[in-house]
Structure 1
């Protein structure tokens, strides 16, 4: 079980490569794609399933998969699954697997919730702990102090002054990743964004395009970037500094691979200084601070942060009232009241008339409704009830 589709695909690719001579079959299960192809593979038989929690739970609930004879359960990137809110799904999945099994849990960090989960699902576990992995010494680090509202301008200026081959840019939110990708495209760069709102096909197209060189720049969030395995990245740019030292190490570890040199640039604000000192302690050295010649760092901030504000919704169009019609042509049948009482009748113009319970406002005998019934006609401009719009199948959860 893995947190993202990209990571599930990467794991499955390795299983296929490593198990080529074993005859073992494997398949991936995640959201954002159709159910039927996955159902066929699950029912056709497979020894290994690499799944995201939400879609796996869907299959289990629909009885498309049987885990009653499961021998080994692996929870990969457990801390990331916790961050994404998958812990309840994992607990539900555990109800479908046998008590007697081998369980392996992998996690870069061990917050209390993950420790509680490990204590809950593991029996006398053996703990293997690996210390902090220092970044490759082939990576050059640099900090770029900049006010928050000038980050995008600095990014464009920096890219214009940098002889970059393949660039991976990290942001803190998927909304920001999407907007930066769009701004880079407008500036003439071959750029794509990788974030959770994309369909699986578009995510795969962005990733494949980055690998092949179709896109020079890929903008991604930490979660979406899990599973990115591209060996030729020349620059990693942290548009937003990561939340932890481990996350910083993971990000910049995508450059400087295979003895190649790489650059890691990080934009920082005054609020980031404490985390910067923690990163420097892990690196064992101070990180140099740089500025970009010719860039205006004194530009005033806008009255409010509009750089990444969501576009305003278009105001709903008011329905124009129907033109006035002759009184008889625009009448509605009244809702009869108790015997001997009058009932109010609404008109398209918004006025109210008084009608006899037994006759229409024009004096005609009432027909078509039983006493106490309601009119079968809808009011002018009334819309049929509609359920909430539903988009295509849910993504990986």
Structure 2
């Protein structure tokens, strides 16, 4: 099926054609007609299956642009996922004049979000905590809400948001359309559906098979051998960027420390980080200042990094879905992916379950083929880049060209080859600079001006 077979308006079909959307994915084919009819829906599908467009297109189809009131609310577990979903909604709705989509998530000052709501918006994408905060401040008007979407509902429950989600749903009109997407369906999801949905249509697209073009290896080891083995695996495969998944926050902290001591460019991502620390860790990873990111499943939600060379399961997950979700981050855009699992004797049953569920037998790799453990040779996994943060961003009219110009112009004097990825946020920007020249770049940006103005410049370490 292609999108022209769906009952979508010409502006949306035009955007889909411009963006190169052709074949409808299974979750879209099953969900969009149901949602266009106004029915409640429970959708089971993993990230990467096209589920954002599955709920965004029906929302956009029904938005009344002339009414500057909140008509749709999407709840997501993390700020990163909110930004990702809102970006996709804006992209799909770019031919709808005046469309206003807000991100209402924690980790940012609440006052600008209150101000944006006062000016009026059509769609909000937010985290449960911040949405509840805005409701309690009476800053969020829900009377005109036609659709509420709970995206990755299982993860929000895992993160302890059940009560917040129920209170938010209780504050919305009983006539609303309620859409629930989840990768798994624990009994808590079923219970929530029974209370808050009206005769929902159940759509299930569970692709337990692992994506085809990923080499899946596993190395056998004892628990004590895991950290030195990980170091050997990294030194052997030399990934430019890799994510290492752990099951516990404490393991993330411990492993990050161990890899850094071995001179591996590594950073940790776990739930106890402040939002600013998380943002900096992700910016450093996206611009290759950090080569190895260590994360838990919950902290790793919403991570979407292009050209990820490898995913390593330091700890095996207990269920097939998280495994498939983890390894699906590598091998995108036509490149062959690499997924490596470290398997202890206690993991053998888990491994059998994964292989049975995915229909793929992991390749047993020999530890003997790896270089010997050498805690001093991690230098090969250091990065050639460092990151600077500038105290102005998109909403301050800063553009990547302004930053590049300041660094490569007369005052900066650097070559463009020494400048890496420039990433703009609302009120700050990150720029990767060649490690050998970062001190010079920092000094010259602090002494000079960007677009004729002085800005605060810091080195993100």
TM-score (norm 1): 0.72
Q: Secondary structure at the match of 2:81?
A: helix
CA distance in 2, matches of 1:6, 1:75: 15
Higher helix share: 2
**1:295 to partner: Cα distance:** 7.6
1:267 alignment partner, one of 342, 354, 370: 342
Deviations along 1:336-373, one digit per CA (max 9) or x if unpaired, are xxxxxxxxxxxxxxxxxxxxxxxxxxxxxxxxxxxxxx
CA distance in 2, matches of 1:221, 1:20: 35
**1:265 to partner: Cα distance:** 0.5
Match in the other structure for 2:300: 225
The answer to whether 1:126 aligns with 2:225 is: no
Higher strand share: 2
CA distance in 2, matches of 1:256, 1:189: 23
2:235 alignment partner, one of 144, 160, 163: 160
Match in the other structure for 2:214: 139
Match in the other structure for 1:28: 103
Give aligned pairs, total: 297
CA distance in 1, matches of 2:118, 2:291: 41
2:260 alignment partner, one of 185, 206, 211: 185
The answer to whether 1:47 aligns with 2:147 is: no
Counterparts in 2 of 1:42 and 1:179: CA distance versus 1, 3 Å: farther
The answer to whether 1:176 aligns with 2:251 is: yes
Larger radius of gyration: 1
**1:48 to partner: Cα distance:** 1.0
CA distance in 1, matches of 2:76, 2:166: 14
CA distance in 1, matches of 2:321, 2:86: 25
Match in the other structure for 1:6: 80
Match in the other structure for 1:15: 89
**1:44 to partner: Cα distance:** 1.9
**1:221 to partner: Cα distance:** 0.9
**1:133 to partner: Cα distance:** 4.2
CA distance in 2, matches of 1:126, 1:290: 44
**1:266 to partner: Cα distance:** 0.6
Comparing 165-174 with 183-192, which one deviates more in the overlay?
183-192
**1:285 to partner: Cα distance:** 3.6
Q: Would you say the 8 A contact 1:154–1:295 is kept in 2?
A: no
Task: Give the alignment of 1:355-394 within 5 angstroms.
Answer: none
TM-score (norm 2): 0.62
Q: Secondary structure at the match of 1:106?
A: strand
2:136 alignment partner, one of 61, 75, 82: 61
CA distance in 2, matches of 1:33, 1:174: 23
Task: Give the alignment of 1:234-245 within 5 angstroms.
Answer: 234-245=309-320
Match in the other structure for 1:207: 282
CA distance in 1, matches of 2:357, 2:170: 41
Cα-Cα RMSD: 1.7
Deviations along 1:52-98, one digit per CA (max 9) or x if unpaired, are 11111111111121112211100011111111111111111122100
**1:5 to partner: Cα distance:** 1.3
CA distance in 1, matches of 2:350, 2:210: 16
Deviations along 1:283-331, one digit per CA (max 9) or x if unpaired, are 324222223237889xxxxxxxxxxxxxxxxxxxxxxxxxxxxxxxxxx
Unaligned runs of 5+ in 1: 298-397
Task: Give the alignment of 1:210-359 within 5 angstroms.
Answer: 210-293=285-368
